[in-house]
Amino acid sequence: MDIILQQLVNGLSLGSVYGLIAIGYTMVYGIIGMINFAHGDVYMVSAYVTAIAIALLSFFGIESFPVVILGTLIFTIFVTGVYGWVIERVAYRPLRGSSRLSILISAIGMSLILQNYVQLSQGAKQQGVPTLLSGAIRFEVGDGFVQLTYMKLFILCASFIGMGVLTYIIQKTKLGRMCRATQQDPKMASILGIDTDKIISTVFVIGATMAALAGVLVTLDYGGFDFYVGFIIGIKAFTAAVLGGIGSLPGAMLGGIILGLSEALFAGLISSDYKDVFSFSLLVIILIFRPSGLLGKPEVEKV
């Protein structure tokens, strides 16, 4: 019993992170109808920037936890946001209007560039960050106990705040309205005076900042990462986006949490060696039986 509860706690924090990254996939898919293949690598870059930010702050003698975490968040989100903008500019904008295959291949190229560029500049070895927040809350459950580390609690709070702010922006602000209009009908939106190019850039930047938030949280929690982490977590976040219904924001969050929970349970109860196989198989099964996901609208084929 305590194992299951413990795995649920772990899965919840993992799932909220998947949800954050899934937002990047879902928003880009909603607006230009394609998968941003380089999104997982944007997450990977943010992990490196997090470690660099922490190293820089400690170099300048800043040690207090709230300042370090706030500084790291601001720095990482800013740098990663610029990455999102540059990636859109280089790999996607010149290809606007060409075939989906071309755009996808260009995106794969971008993903290879990011991975190899980070590997060449930072070396292939595993990197790490020091533990900033330790300690845990323990609950007695039956014979054993379940522990909720402060870091996991922090992840949950930070990711729900991030999602809340984003939902507010999309639902209530003018920028959000323009995003939704472009998502619904880009041609019509541009006729009505919305600069759709700018909105698409903005969407890439928003996706990147959410990936950056996830990158900071996961890096602080696990400590270790290398230039390859974006690949697996990217596919899982994509699975989450598809599970929730790609194109739908609440779907991304829901999908992330469901995936995180089921993966943690699978790892805890059946086999942790095959937990990635489980996620990939889940993706295939969802796509076969419910391609529009839990909260998505069915895709209409246009001639």
Partner 1 sequence: MSQTMTNIDYKKSIIDAVIAGLLALIVFGPIVGIVLDGYDFNAEPQRLIGIIAVVMAGRFVASVFFQTPKGAAFLYKHSSKDDGVHVLAADHKSKLRWIIPLTIVIALLVPFVASKYILTVVILGLIYVLLGLGLNIVVGLAGLLDLGFVGFYAIGAYGLALGYEYLGLGFWSMLPIAAIIAAIFGAILGFPVLRMHGDYLAIVTLGFGEIIRLVLTNWTEVTQGPNGMNAPLPSFFGMEFKRRASEGHVPFHEFFGIPYSSAYKYIFIYLVLLLVVLGVLYVKKRLTKMPIGRAWEALREDEIACRSLGLNHVLVKLSAFMIGASTGGLAGVFFATYQGFVNPSSFTFFESALILAIVVLGGMGSTLGVVIAAFVLTVAPELLREFADYRVLAFGMLMVLMMIWKPRGLVRMTRTGVEQREGNVK
Question: Restricting to residues 23-42, which ones interact with partner 1 according to CB under 8 A?
Answer: 29, 34-35, 37
Question: Which residue, 128 or 144, is less far from partner 1 as judged by CB?
Answer: 128
Minimum gap (Å) between residue 129 Cβ and partner 1:
7
Residues 72 and 52: their CA atoms lie apart, in Å, by 9
Least Å from the CB of residue 138 to partner 1: 29
**Cα–Cα nearest to 204, from 13, 27, 66, 68:** 27
Residue choice 117, 139, 145, 222 for contact with partner 1 (CB under 8 A): 117
**Per CB under 8 A, does 300 bind partner 1?**
no
In the shown chain, the binding pattern of residues 143 to 182 toward partner 1, with x for contact by CB under 8 A and - for none, equals: ----------------------------------------
Among positions 47-76, residues that touch partner 1 (CB under 8 A) are 48-49, 51-56, 58-59
Helix axes 100-122, 39-59, angle to 10 degrees: 30
Distance CA 181, CA 202 (A): 14
Q: Which token pair is 162?
A: 């991030």
String of b and e for 169-199 (b: at least 16 CB within 10 Å)? ebeeeeebebbebbbeebeebeeeebebeeb
Binding region for partner 1 (CB under 8 A) out of 121-129, 162-170, 201-209, 214-222: 121-129
Of the two residues 58 and 173, which places its CB atom closer to partner 1 in the complex? 58
Which residue among 128, 144, 164, 224 contacts partner 1 (CB under 8 A)?
128
Judged by CB under 8 A, which of 3, 67, 70, 112 binds partner 1? 112
Least Å distance, CB 78 to partner 1, is 8
Q: Is 45 in the site for partner 1 (CB under 8 A)?
A: yes
- Exactly one of 173, 198, 277, 297 binds partner 1 (CB under 8 A); that residue is 277
Give Cα separations from 180 to 33, 162, 200, 214, 244 (angstroms): 14, 19, 11, 24, 18
Site for partner 1 in 214-253 (CB under 8 A): 231, 235, 238, 242
Count of residues in contact with partner 1, rule CB under 8 A:
72
> Which is nearer to partner 1, 51 or 254 (by Cβ)?
51
Considering the rule CB under 8 A, would residue 116 count as an interface residue with partner 1? Answer: yes
Given 3, 62, 123, 157, the residue binding partner 1 (CB under 8 A): 123
